Amino acid sequence: MCRGSRWAHRTQRASCARNDREAAVTHATAADAAAPELPVAKFVRGRLAYEDGEDEDAAAAFTDAADALRDTRTAMSDLHFYFGESLAHLARYPEAEAAYREELRAFPRNIQAYTSLAMLYRASNRDDAVEDVLNELVAATPTPEGYGVAAQLWTMLGDRRRAEALRSDARARFRGDPSLALFGHQGTPLRRSGEH
C-alpha cells in the first residue's frame, strides 16, 4: 500500500472513531483512489452501518470488502473483526467465529478479536475453546496488556484462580515494566477516563 493511502486509511479510521461520517467517507474515497486494491470505502460503509446498529447492512458491506480482498495478497486490519461483530449481533455465530479467526490469522495480535472470540465461545458453552483462545492470546501477545486482558476475561468468566495466576505470571515476567502501573490492586487493568 502506498504511503498516501496508508495515511488516508488511518485518517478514515480516526474519523469513524470520532463519528465524523463526512470525514470518514472523504478519506475513504481518497484511500480508494490512492490504492484501488483496498476496499476502504466498503469498509467505512460497513463501519458506519455497524456504529448505527444496522448489522445486516454492516455485514453486507464487510462481505463486499472481504470479497474484494480475496484475490489480493493484502489484508485490512479490523475488517474481519467488525465483520465478526456484525455477524455475532445477527446470531450468525459460526460465521462470526470464522471471521474472528480470519482476523487473527492476518493480525495475530488483535486483542479485541481474541476477546470477542472468547466471549462467543463462552456464550455457546465451549469452555475448552475459551481456554484455548485465552492461551492463544497470551502466546500471541506476551505483553502486560495481553496478560491483563486475559486475566480480566478469566475474572469476568468467574475463574479468579486462573486470573490471579496470569496476574502473578505477568508481575514476575514484566517486573519493573511501567505499564504494570495500569493494573489496580487486584491486577485488573484500570480504565482511563472515557473508556468503557
The pLDDT, as a whole number, for residue 170 is 92
Report the percent of the chain where pLDDT is more than 70: 78
Has residue 166 been placed in a domain? yes
Write out the H or E segment, with its range, that includes residue 45: helix 40-51
Residues 43 and 6: their CA atoms lie apart, in Å, by 14
Task: State the DSSP string of 82-138.
Answer: HHHHHHHHTT-HHHHHHHHHHHHHH-TT-HHHHHHHHHHHHHTT-HHHHHHHHHHHH
101 and 130 inside one domain = no
Residue 196 is assigned to a structural domain of this protein:
no
What is the CA angle 47-51-56, rounded to 5? 75
Answering whether pTM is above 0.85, one says no
Judge whether 83 and 63 are in contact, CB under 8 Å: yes
Specify whether the CB–CB gap between 124 and 93 falls below 8 A. Answer: yes
How far is it, in rounded angstroms, from Cα 176 to Cα 185?
A: 16
Residue 128 lies in a domain: yes
95 and 144: one domain? no
**Do 93 and 121 fall into the same domain?**
no
Q: Please tell me the total count of domains within the chain.
A: 2
Average pLDDT over residues 115-123: 96
151 and 90 within one domain: no
- Residue 76 inside a domain? The answer is yes
What DSSP string runs through 68-79?
Answer: HHHTSS---TTH
Instruction: Place 183 in a pLDDT band, splitting at 50, 70 and 90.
Output: low
Per-residue confidence (pLDDT) for residue 10, from 0 to 100: 45
State the CATH number of the domain containing residue 78: 1.25.40.10
Q: Which of the listed residues 48, 78, 107 is the one where a domain comes to its end?
A: 107
User: What is the rounded average pLDDT of the residues 7-27?
Assistant: 56
Q: For position 34, what pLDDT does the model report?
A: 62
In the predicted model, is pLDDT for residue 97 greater than 80?
yes
pLDDT in tens, 26-39: 777 676 666 667 88
Q: Which of 50-59, 136-145, 160-169, 170-179 has the lowest mean pLDDT?
A: 170-179
Kindly state the average pLDDT of the residues 70-92: 93
Domain that holds residue 19: 1-107
62 and 112 inside one domain: no
Yes or no: say if 167 and 187 are a contact pair by the CB < 8 Å rule.
yes
Instruction: Give a yes or no: residue 66 inside a domain.
Output: yes
119 and 174 both lie in a single domain: yes
Give the mean pLDDT of the chain.
83
